[in-house]
Structures are given as C-alpha cells and as structure tokens.
C-alpha cells in the first residue's frame, strides 16, 4: 500500500449582491422568451453533477400570482427598466441542445448569464451569442458543450468574465478574443482546445488578471519581447500542460497569487515566483538543481507542489519557517537528500506533507510532532533510518501516516499512553525492518470511537481558500487536495485517487514482525485492509479475524502461520482479496461465500492445505511434497526481505495477477477530480446602470 497525494481542484463561489427591489414587472416578450427557453429542455434530475441541484425553472409559469418573470427563481430584472438582466440557471438539470433560434438570444438586456452544470447534449454555442452584447459575465462551465468557441464572442465587449471550463470545446481559441477588452477572467480549463498561441496576444487585455488555459492541447509561446511592463498584471496563471521550455526567471508578475506550471517539460532551475504567491504548482517537469533558499521569500504561500522533478541537494533549512499559512507541502519524487529541516515550529497550519520518493536520510526530527494541524504525512521511499516515530501519536488530526520503504527498525514501542493516534485511518509501515510483535495498540482507539456517523461521500482532503481582492471584486478560489493511495498486490499497482474518510487500512508487510497475530485484531472492527504479508508471524490465524465485518483485503501470506484457516473467515462478506499463500497451514480450505471466488494462488505454498481451489484432494495427502525450504537458498536466512522477494518471483511464475477493488476507495477515472472554476464575489451594489 502506498499513500499518495493528488491535487484535485474544486470550486466554491458565493455570489453576493444586495437584493434589488422587485417592484418592476416583467416585459411580456422576455417572459415568453424565458418560458420558450425553459420548454426547449427536458429537466432531468440526474443531469447536474451538483447534488444540491434544484430545478429552478419548474416554478416558472404565466399563471396566477407567479406570472411576473422578475420574481421567478434564477431571474433578476433591472429595478428601473424591468428588463431581465441576470439569469442564473446553473445546476438546474437542463437537458437538451441550445439552437441558433433559441429564445435565449432575445434576452438582449442580459448582463449576467450562468448556465454552468447542465447538460447541453454536446451542442455548440450558437454564433447568436453575439446578440447578448451587454453581457459582463458568461459562465458555461461543465455543461457538455462542444464545437468551436464562436468568434462572435468578440461582440461581447463588456464581458469581464468568461468561464468555459470542463466542456468539450475544440479547435483554437479565436484570436478575436483579445477584443474583449474588459475581460478579467478567461477560464477554458479542461477542454480539447488546440493550436498555438502566444502569451503576447494578451498584451492589450489590460484587465486580464486570471488566465487558465490548462488541460487542453494548446501550445503557448512566451515571446521574450513581452516584458512585464506590457503584459497584463496577472494574479493568476494556470498554464498546466500548455507549453514547453523555459519560463522567465524571476517571473515578471509581482502581484501573482496563483501560478500553475504543471506538466510542461520545463528544464533548468526552479523559477521562484514573487512573495505574493499563495499557490505555486510546478510538478511533472524536468527542473533540476537545488531548491534555492529564496523560495522561503514566498511568505504567504499556502500550497507548494514541486513534485516529480529532478531537484537535488538538501532542503533549505528555512523551509520550516514558511509563513504560518502553508497548508500543503509536496516535494514528492525528486532527488532531494540529507536530513529534512530540524526545527518545525508550533502554530503552523500544515495539513499535508509529501516527501516521498526522495533520498532523504537520517533520523526524523521529533519537532514534526509540533505540526498540530497535520492530517497526512508521506515519508515513504526514502532512506530514513530511525525507530518508529511514535511521537506522531499526539497529533490530534493525523489520518494518514506513511513511512514505507525506508530503514526504520526495531520493535515498535509506544512509551506512553498519551500517544493515542486519535484520528489515524491509514498506516503504512511496509518495507522496513521493524521487529517484535505486531503493534496493534496503535489502533486501540478504533475500539472506542464511533465512526458510524462518517459519510461515505467524504474524502480525505485539504481545502484551501484564497481570497484575492481585485478592486471592487473579491475573487474566491478554493482548491481541494485529495489524498490518494496506491495499493500494490503482486504485480498489480492500483492507484486510487480519492480515499473515503471511512477507509481504514494497515500495511505492515515486509518487515520482521514475529510472534502471533494477536486475537485483539478482532477489535478493529472498522478495518478494510490488513496486510502483514512477508514477516515472521507464527502460530494460528486468529478466529477473531472473522469479526472484521468490513474487511475487503486480507494478506497474511509469506509468514510461518500454522493450523487451519478458521471457518469464521467465510463470514467476511466484503472480502475481495485474500492471501494466505506460503505459510504452514493445514487442513481443509473453507468454502462458501467469498471463499468460492478465491483462486489457488491465494492458498499455494501450504503443504498441508487441501480442497478446492487447490487440486489436492483432502483424502489424498500422500502425493504432496513439502515445499522447498525457502530460506535455505537465501544467503541471510534472517532476512524476510530476501525471503519475500524470492517468493514473489515464484509467484509471478504462476502468471496470475490478482487485482483488488476496494469498495471504500474510489477509482476516479472521470475528470471530476479535476473540476475547477473560479468564484468571484462583488463588494457593494450592482444592478444599477
């Protein structure tokens, strides 16, 4: 099991404005246009991804007291003229196409139009959208639109906000878009737009503050003649997966708050954005060299992701002094080495640290226990050499602790009852040299806590909220970092992008744990995944495992367990992966329920086991040969590592690969976790001309 962290983005917007008085009566042509527009769709409850979606248009009618369209849900009229100036039908379950003759285009007084989160059946934006020349705000995000972005958008010269994210738009971004002089936000995130564009094309869009071109097939060229004097004063640039090559260093935008340069083949040293930066993401590039101490100049930083580059050297010691604002620190998969910074102060906000897949060494600084807000820490795949960091046990919010594949060693001792790990859900100690008995006391808390109230819809995540003041507007952005997890089972590596808060997993495989699996395992009733494979565990399989009613994956293979497989295990109705291979088990393999689904590789390497799915009949033991003594071939017969490795190779030989689907972990293949839009909030009044 590997614990990983993936960024996932989601939006939060509160659009507040002082409510206009509703004295004015609606114009007849506009109410009939609205009704016609409504009638051109069917309302399907399932068509909006927002669980709170409400079919606003259902109440629209010309009958009785509700006939004034200015009072209809989602409609706002100008208090003086009575014209419809705002239409917000976002998340309204609208299903159907928008045609060029749609009555929507008769609503020419519209200033704000929000049709986000509907299903327009892959129709195109008709060029007639150019009719709505008073629009300042157009939000069509996540609405199943396709085709090209119409050039007539250039007719909308008052537009300040254009949100087209998460649709299926194709082709280029029309160069005429630069005539939308007032545009402040251009968000085309997550479409299929292609073609080459130059950053310089935005030269004259002096108002443009937020540009999100990410997750398209666009190529962006940064011409060096575009200097900071002429480019817009960006405060947010999301150019993930948009261009190749170099970025200007230092970055010329002194007001930058959001900078995302992920997945761009960037080479050279790490660009350091200005101190104003709140979120800096530059993972999945080819940056090299050291992390300069100037990085600590970003005193407001909340999210820092430098993962999956080739950064080397040791970490600047100042890293731990990052403003009190840092929430997420992701340095995963680089070539960083040496000790991690020694002093971590109390009072920081850090929720998530991902230092995995580097070459960090030495002991862990116990001052990490000062990070009282910490929810997840991944130190896996490094060269830390230490005893078990029991002192993480006093962090009240710690949910995920991963120290897999290091040189941690010795028996696990919790010296004091105050180290309770009160919130721990996922513990991965695999591939180390821990010894002694299995430290189940770490989870004693699971016995007493009531987890019944936890929703299966909540995923372990960090939510960061940014507010960027922008003249009369405040932009609110909110980003979710979801923890994700990889589970490795004999050759199958499965990545789960979201982990339910409900999920409980313990991986202590490939260590030197010995003695029995304690009966008290049966107290951990909330457990979903238990892997203690490849240790020196002996004695019998405890009956009490049958109490773990939610168990989905149980791997106790490659140990020295003896006796029979308890019949009680057939009670485990959710068990999808089961492995007791290469032990010293005897007797009849239980049958029934889930046991009828397991293959012979779940049981092989136990000379005394018989019955289906193994081929040896329980009446005919004589034909069985004892297994070759596995540790004999090993140079160091004490090393379970060697032992395990050889067996796994044998395992491959049988050619069967078993995958687990953990019901409590979601494989998110759809771009749901990529969803992101911008929110904005106006200060003061609107709706007056």
Ligand X SMILES: *[C@@H]1O[C@H](CO)[C@@H](O)[C@H](O)[C@H]1NC(C)=O
Q: Which residues bind ligand X (CB under 6 A)?
A: 2, 4-7, 11-13, 15, 90-91, 95-97, 99, 101, 105-106, 108, 114, 116-117, 121, 127-128, 130-131, 139, 141, 152, 155, 161, 163, 170, 194-195, 227-229, 250, 252, 254, 272, 283-286, 294, 297, 305, 307-308, 327, 330, 332, 354, 356, 378, 380, 463-465, 560, 562, 584, 586, 677-680
Nearest approach, Cβ of residue 23 and ligand X (Å): 25
HSE-CB of 93 using CA atoms within 13 angstroms: 13
Structure tokens at 120: 């327009």
CA 653, CA 311: separation in Å to the nearest integer?
A: 38
**Closer of 349 and 601 to ligand X (Cβ):** 349
Nearest approach, Cβ of residue 602 and ligand X (Å): 19
Nearest approach, Cβ of residue 538 and ligand X (Å): 7
Which residues, in sequence order, are bridge partners of residue 8?
480
3-state secondary structure at position 128: helix
| DSSP code string of 656-684 | -------TTEE---SGGGG----EEEE-S
**Closer of 332 and 500 to ligand X (Cβ):** 332
**Closer of 136 and 308 to ligand X (Cβ):** 308
* CB 650, CB 490: distance < 8 Å: no
**Closer of 118 and 370 to ligand X (Cβ):** 118
Nearest approach, Cβ of residue 92 and ligand X (Å): 10
Nearest approach, Cβ of residue 230 and ligand X (Å): 9
210-227: b or e for each residue (b if 16 or more CB lie within 10 Å)?
bbbbbbbebebebeeebe
* CB 386, CB 364: distance < 8 Å: yes
* CB 232, CB 209: distance < 8 Å: yes
**Closer of 125 and 680 to ligand X (Cβ):** 680
Cis peptide bond N-terminal to 331, omega within 30: no
**Closer of 579 and 677 to ligand X (Cβ):** 677
Backbone angles phi, psi at 625, to 5 degrees: -100, 145
Nearest approach, Cβ of residue 588 and ligand X (Å): 14
* CB 12, CB 475: distance < 8 Å: no
Structure tokens at 284: 């999945």
Nearest approach, Cβ of residue 218 and ligand X (Å): 9
**Closer of 250 and 422 to ligand X (Cβ):** 250
Nearest approach, Cβ of residue 574 and ligand X (Å): 26
Nearest approach, Cβ of residue 37 and ligand X (Å): 10
What is the residue whose two structure tokens read 């896996």? 380
Distance set, CA 644 to CA 443, 480, 649 (Å): 26, 38, 9
CA 540, CA 561: separation in Å to the nearest integer?
A: 6
CA 188, CA 672: separation in Å to the nearest integer?
A: 16
CA 553, CA 689: separation in Å to the nearest integer?
A: 64
**Closer of 510 and 576 to ligand X (Cβ):** 510
Q: Hey, what long-range contacts does 346-350 have (CB within 8 A, 24 or more apart)?
A: 346/370, 346/372, 348/322, 348/324, 348/373, 349/302, 349/324, 349/325, 349/373, 350/326, 350/374
**Closer of 127 and 445 to ligand X (Cβ):** 127
What is the residue whose two structure tokens read 């140990």? 559
CA 368, CA 344: separation in Å to the nearest integer?
A: 6
Nearest approach, Cβ of residue 39 and ligand X (Å): 9
Q: What angle do CA 482, 488, 493 make, to 5 degrees?
A: 75
Nearest approach, Cβ of residue 178 and ligand X (Å): 15
Nearest approach, Cβ of residue 512 and ligand X (Å): 16
Give the H or E element holding residue 522.
none
Residue 554, judged by CB atoms within 10 A of its CB (0-12, 13-18, 19+), counts as buried
Handedness of CA 558, 559, 564, 565 (dihedral sign): negative
Nearest approach, Cβ of residue 522 and ligand X (Å): 23
Nearest approach, Cβ of residue 20 and ligand X (Å): 19
């Amino acid at each position: 099991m590997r614990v990983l962290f993936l960024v996932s983005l989601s939006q939060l917007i509160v659009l507040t404005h002082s409510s206009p008085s509703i004295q004015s009566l609606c114009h007849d042509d506009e109410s009939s246009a609205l009704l016609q527009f409504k009638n051109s769709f069917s309302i399907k409850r399932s068509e909006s991804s927002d669980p709170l979606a409400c079919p606003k248009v259902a109440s629209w009618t010309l009958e009785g007291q509700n006939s004034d369209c200015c009072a209809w849900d989602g409609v706002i009229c100008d208090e003086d003229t009575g014209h419809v100036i705002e239409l917000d039908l976002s998340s309204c379950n609208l299903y159907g196409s928008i045609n060029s003759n749609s009555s929507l285009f008769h609503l020419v007084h519209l200033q704000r139009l929000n049709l986000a989160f509907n299903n327009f059946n892959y129709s195109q934006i008709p060029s007639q959208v150019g009719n709505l020349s008073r629009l300042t705000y157009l939000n069509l995000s996540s609405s199943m639109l396709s085709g090209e972005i119409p050039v007539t958008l250039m007719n909308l010269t008052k537009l300040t906000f254009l949100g087209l994210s998460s649709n299926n738009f194709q082709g280029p971004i029309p160069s005429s878009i630069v005539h939308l002089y007032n545009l402040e936000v251009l968000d085309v995130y997550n479409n299929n737009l292609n073609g080459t564009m130059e950053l310089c094309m935005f030269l004259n869009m002096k108002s443009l503050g937020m540009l999100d071109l990410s997750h398209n097939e666009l190529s962006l060229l940064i011409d060096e003649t575009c200097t900071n004097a002429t480019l817009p004063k960006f405060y947010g640039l999301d150019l993930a997966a948009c261009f190749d090559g170099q970025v200007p260093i230092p970055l010329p935008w002194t007001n930058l708050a959001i900078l995302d340069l992920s997945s761009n083949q960037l080479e050279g040293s790490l660009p350091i954005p200005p101190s104003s930066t709140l979120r800096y993401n530059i993972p999945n590039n080819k940056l090299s060299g050291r992390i300069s101490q100037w990085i600590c100049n970003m005193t407001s930083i909340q999210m820092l992701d430098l993962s999956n580059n080739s950064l080397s050297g040791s970490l600047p010691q100042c890293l731990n002094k990052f403003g009190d604002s840092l929430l997420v620190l992701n340095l995963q998969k680089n070539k960083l080495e040496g000790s991690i910074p020694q002093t971590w102060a109390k009072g920081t906000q850090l929720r998530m640290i991902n230092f995995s897949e580097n070459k960090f060494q030495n002991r862990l600084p116990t001052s990490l226990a000062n990070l009282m807000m910490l929810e997840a820490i991944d130190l896996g795949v490094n060269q830390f050499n230490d005893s078990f960091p029991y002192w993480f046990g006093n962090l009240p919010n710690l949910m995920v602790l991963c120290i897999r594949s290091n040189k941690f060693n010795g028996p696990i001792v919790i010296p004091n009852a105050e180290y309770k790990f009160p919130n721990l859900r996922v513990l991965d100690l695999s591939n180390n040299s821990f010894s002694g008995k299995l430290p189940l006391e770490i989870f004693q808390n699971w016995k007493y806590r009531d987890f019944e109230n936890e929703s299966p819809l909540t995923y372990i995540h960090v939510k960061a909220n940014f507010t960027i003041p922008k003249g009369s507007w405040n932009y609110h952005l909110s980003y979710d970092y979801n923890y994700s997890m990889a589970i490795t089972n004999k050759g199958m590596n499965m990545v789960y992008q979201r982990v339910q808060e409900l999920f409980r997993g313990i991986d202590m495989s490939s260590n030197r744990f010995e003695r029995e699996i304690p009966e008290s395992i049966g107290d951990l009733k909330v457990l979903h995944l238990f892997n203690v494979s490849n240790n020196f565990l002996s004695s019998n399989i405890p009956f009490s495992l049958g109490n773990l009613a939610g168990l989905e994956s149980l791997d106790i293979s490659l140990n020295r367990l003896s006796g029979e497989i308890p019949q009680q295990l057939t009670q485990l109705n959710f068990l999808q992966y089961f492995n007791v291979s290469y032990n010293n088990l005897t007797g009849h393999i239980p049958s029934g329920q889930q046991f009828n689904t397991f293959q012979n590789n779940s049981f092989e390497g136990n000379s005394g086991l018989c019955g289906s799915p193994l081929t040896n009949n329980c009446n005919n033991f004589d034909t069985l040969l004892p297994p070759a003594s596995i540790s004999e071939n090993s140079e160091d017969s004490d090393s379970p590592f060697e032992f395990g490795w050889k067996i796994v190779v044998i395992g491959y030989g049988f050619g069967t690969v078993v995958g687990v689907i953990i019901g409590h972990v979601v494989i998110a293949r759809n771009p749901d976790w990529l969803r992101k839009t911008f929110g904005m909030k106006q200060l003061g009044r609107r709706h007056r001309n």
